[in-house]
């Protein structure tokens, strides 16, 4: 995933570190399952040695995540044949002379209910909008907005805050050297609402506005409010900067979870205070990749988890992180039972399944989230649901991208490479072709990109260790802990189905040449083994855009093979599905067959 010269340079710079810190245990506490992953140095290269899973024990009857964590570590001990816990359940850290234990611990958490957040600012389309974008960088559920230009009077705004009972209040407003009195007016509303709450129910307050006001805000309101400060999310009217505030909102989220969930305080102690929200850790690894790679494109990551779908996009080290708790595979799926919403799922079905059966499956998924698909019909619904959730997240994410990221229009995914995908629904597909098609149908990328699958949920673990141990992150990203699916060329244009839209030539390292003609509405696969490179010549027809500079412009690029070789997607953007159900089912099977499934 990285240039070999860059990788070797980082390895050399970190060689002394490798001598002293050879093992890292990462604990991930999810809503339903807890994962333990052990990384260690093998022949001076970090590798994932083993992974184990156990049910999360945050809820009754145990109500302490440490029980599930210890059970998970014991299962990991059995897998790797190495002792990590003492007799009484304490972690052996640092490593003992007999080789038991670990040198370091990192931890993430995604368990816990969605957070209730108040976003407050001066103008709804400026500072309030930035506060809302910041709220969506964490596990935000219900949200209430107050602003100076709202039609609500102050009493109504105070009542709205009290009804919500927020976990966090985000106050933005005032550009650098900007508004003063207006910011104090917004704070006064928040202050009066919090005074009416019990001390133990008052929310954390984050001020992400005019930093010149920090001292005065602390002086006026600090006796009542637990106020924390971050860099201004709107330093100028036309500039939004969320990076510093995203880190702060992650720290606040962590503290809320530690207070909510028994056992997390002890886990945070194991990790030397480094416990992170899982979404923030996932964002870290995407940001890390962006900083290490070419500046020509952005980097995107998607994590389709049980409790939320997370989208992370980074460009030149600038991260945009969006978390959608309502779009988790096991979230409350009742809203999808409405006819209009249900159609968003059923349009992706690959076989004829009665609507009532789809509804029943979605209801059971909400009631019994740990259940897995048992029949081919269940699997078809699960894959259709995954496509719908990805599409919904992509639509909501439009406009929430890091500044400067190359774009090919507001309606399409911007230029990104690679795309890193995580989630059990992708890891347990019958074949890699199924996983790739779910991603292509949901994300609908454009131009040339590469896809990397995270089958073991390793990405967030690496994000938890990236800052303290970048060598581990670099080396594991390039290991077999990830599946490089290959390069995908996605054409943008419009033509009648069956019309020739591209001629391509693939010339491998042995000068063996493959020629192919792509027709509108089709998807094709060219063999290129993992790790091998080849030259791909593209000759677009019908003014289709292949990402080489504009419609109709072709060229040659170096491509890298993967488990799926090189895939050319000529189905168009946005992807149009046949309106007739039987034709749609047949089309899905044709696409899967075309990828040699």
pLDDT per position as a tens digit, 495-548: 999 999 999 999 998 889 999 999 999 999 999 999 899 999 999 999 999 988
Q: Shortest CA distance to 591 belongs to which of 571, 572, 574, 565? A: 571
Residue at token pair 């131009």? 447
Please report the pLDDT score of residue 18 as a whole number. 42
Whole-angstrom distance, CA of residue 260 vs CA of residue 248? 19
User: What pLDDT digit, counting tens, does each position of 103-135 carry?
Assistant: 999 999 999 999 999 999 998 889 999 999 999
Question: How much is the CA Rg of the chain, to the nearest whole Å?
Answer: 25
Residue 264 in tokens = 């997390």
- Sign of the dihedral through C-alpha 547, 553, 559, 564: positive
- Taking CA atoms, 389 is separated from 63, 93, 382, 392, 433, in Å, by 30, 41, 11, 5, 19
Nearest 10 degrees: Cα torsion 558, 429, 458, 566: 0
The strand pair at 513-519 and 447-454 is best described as: unpaired
Query: Does 311 have pLDDT greater than 90?
Result: yes
Task: Report CA dihedral (272, 274, 277, 283) to the nearest 10 degrees.
Answer: -150
Percent of the chain at pLDDT > 90 equals 73
Per DSSP, the three-state class of 132 is: helix
| Strand residue runs (E) in 455-521 | 483-490, 500-508, 513-519
Mean pLDDT of 415-420: 91
Rounded to whole angstroms, the Cα distance separating 445 from 425 reads 20
Read off the DSSP letter of residue 580.
S
User: Do strands 500-508 and 533-540 pair parallel, antiparallel, or not at all (unpaired)?
Assistant: antiparallel
Percent above pLDDT 70 for the chain: 95
For the cut 60, the answer to whether the pLDDT of residue 17 exceeds it is no
Q: Prior bond to 61 cis, omega within 30?
A: yes
Q: Is 570 helix (H, G, I), strand (E, B) or coil?
A: strand
Residue 397: phi and psi, rounded to 5, are -85, -5
Please tell me the distance from the alpha carbon of residue 51 to that of residue 454, in angstroms, as a whole number: 13
pLDDT digits (tens, 9 = 90+) for 444-497: 999 999 999 999 999 999 999 887 788 898 899 888 899 999 999 999 999 999
Q: What is the dihedral of CA 404, 407, 413, 419, to 10 degrees?
A: -60
**pLDDT, tens digit, 9 for 90 and up, residues 283-297:** 999 999 988 776 678
Which secondary structure element, helix H or strand E, spans residue 127, and what is its range? helix 127-135
Tell me, what's the pLDDT at 44? 84
4-111+262-274 adopts what CATH topology? Nucleotidyltransferase; domain 5 (3.30.420)
CATH, domain range 115-246: 3.40.50.280
* pLDDT exceeds cutoff 80 at 196: yes
The pLDDT value given to residue 294: 62
Residue 356 above 50 pLDDT? yes
With cut-offs at 50, 70 and 90, classify the pLDDT of residue 410: low
At residue 4, the pLDDT reads: 45
pLDDT of 8 above 50: no
> Domain map of the chain by residue range?
4-111+262-274, 115-246, 486-597
- The single residue listed with the structure tokens 């909008």 is 129
Token pair of 95 as six digits: 């490593």
CA distance 73 to 444: 39
Whether residue 19 has pLDDT greater than 50: no
The 10 Å Cβ neighbour count of residue 478 is 16
CA 50, distance to chain mean position in Å, is 23
* Residue 208 reports pLDDT greater than 70: yes
Contacts of 559 by beta carbon, 8 Å cutoff, 6+ apart: 448, 487, 506, 528, 533, 534, 535, 536, 566
């Amino acid at each position: 995933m990285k240039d070999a010269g860059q990788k070797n340079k980082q390895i050399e710079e970190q060689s002394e570190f490798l001598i002293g810190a050879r093992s890292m245990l990462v604990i991930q506490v999810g809503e339903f399952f807890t994962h333990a992953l052990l990384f260690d140095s093998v022949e001076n290269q970090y590798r994932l040695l083993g992974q184990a899973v156990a049910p999360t024990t945050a809820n009754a009857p145990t109500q302490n995540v440490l029980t599930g964590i210890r059970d998970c570590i014991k299962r990991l001990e059995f897998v790797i044949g190495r002792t990590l816990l003492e007799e009484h359940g304490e972690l052996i850290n640092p490593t003992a002379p007999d080789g038991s234990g670990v040198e370091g611990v990192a931890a993430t958490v995604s368990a816990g209910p969605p957070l209730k957040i108040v976003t407050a600012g001066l103008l709804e389309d400026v500072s309030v909008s930035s506060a809302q974008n910041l709220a969506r960088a964490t596990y935000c559920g219900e949200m209430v907005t107050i602003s100076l230009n709202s039609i609500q009077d102050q009493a109504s705004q105070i009542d709205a805050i009290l009804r919500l009972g927020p976990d966090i209040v985000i106050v933005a407003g005032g550009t650098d050297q900007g508004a003063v009195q207006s910011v104090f007016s917004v704070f006064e509303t928040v202050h009066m609402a919090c005074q009416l709450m019990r001390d133990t129910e008052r929310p954390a307050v984050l001020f992400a506005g005019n930093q010149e006001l920090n001292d005065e805000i602390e002086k006026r309101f600090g006796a009542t409010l637990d106020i924390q400060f971050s860099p201004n999310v709107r330093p100028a009217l036309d500039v939004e900067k969320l990076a510093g505030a995203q880190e702060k909102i992650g720290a606040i989220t962590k503290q809320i979870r530690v207070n909510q969930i028994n056992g997390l305080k002890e886990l945070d102690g194991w990790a030397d205070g480094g416990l992170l929200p899982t979404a923030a850790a996932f964002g870290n690894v995407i940001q890390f990749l962006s900083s290490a790679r070419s500046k020509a494109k952005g980097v995107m990551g998607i994590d389709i988890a049980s409790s939320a779908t997370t989208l992370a996009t980074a460009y030149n080290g600038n991260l945009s992180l969006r978390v959608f708790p309502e779009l988790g595979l096991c979230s409350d799926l009742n809203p999808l039972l409405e006819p209009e919403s249900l159609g968003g799922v059923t349009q992706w079905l690959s076989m004829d399944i009665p609507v009532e059966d789809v509804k029943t499956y979605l209801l059971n998924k909400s009631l019994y989230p740990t259940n897995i698909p048992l029949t081919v019909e269940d699997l078809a619904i699960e894959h259709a649901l995954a496509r719908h959730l990805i599409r919904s997240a992509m639509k909501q994410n439009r406009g929430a991208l890091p500044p400067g990221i190359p774009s090919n229009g507001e309606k399409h995914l911007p230029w990104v490479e690679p795309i890193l995908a995580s989630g059990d629904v992708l890891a347990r597909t019958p074949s890699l072709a199924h996983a790739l098609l779910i991603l292509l149908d949901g994300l609908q990328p454009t131009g040339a990109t590469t896809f990397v699958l995270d089958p073991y949920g390793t990405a967030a673990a690496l994000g938890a260790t990236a800052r303290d141990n970048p060598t581990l992150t670099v080396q594991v990203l390039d290991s077999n802990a990830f599946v490089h699916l290959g390069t995908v060329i996605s054409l943008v244009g419009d033509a009648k189905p069956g019309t020739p839209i591209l001629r391509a030539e693939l010339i491998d390292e042995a000068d063996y040449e493959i020629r192919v003609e792509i027709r509108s509405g089709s998807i094709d696969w060219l063999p290129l083994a993992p790790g091998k490179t080849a030259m791909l010549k593209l000759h677009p027809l019908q003014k289709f855009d292949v990402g080489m500079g504009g419609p109709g412009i072709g060229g040659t690029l170096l491509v890298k093979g993967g488990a799926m070789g090189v895939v050319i997607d000529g189905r168009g953007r946005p992807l149009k599905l046949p309106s007739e159900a039987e034709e749609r089912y047949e089309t899905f099977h044709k696409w899967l067959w075309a990828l040699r499934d």
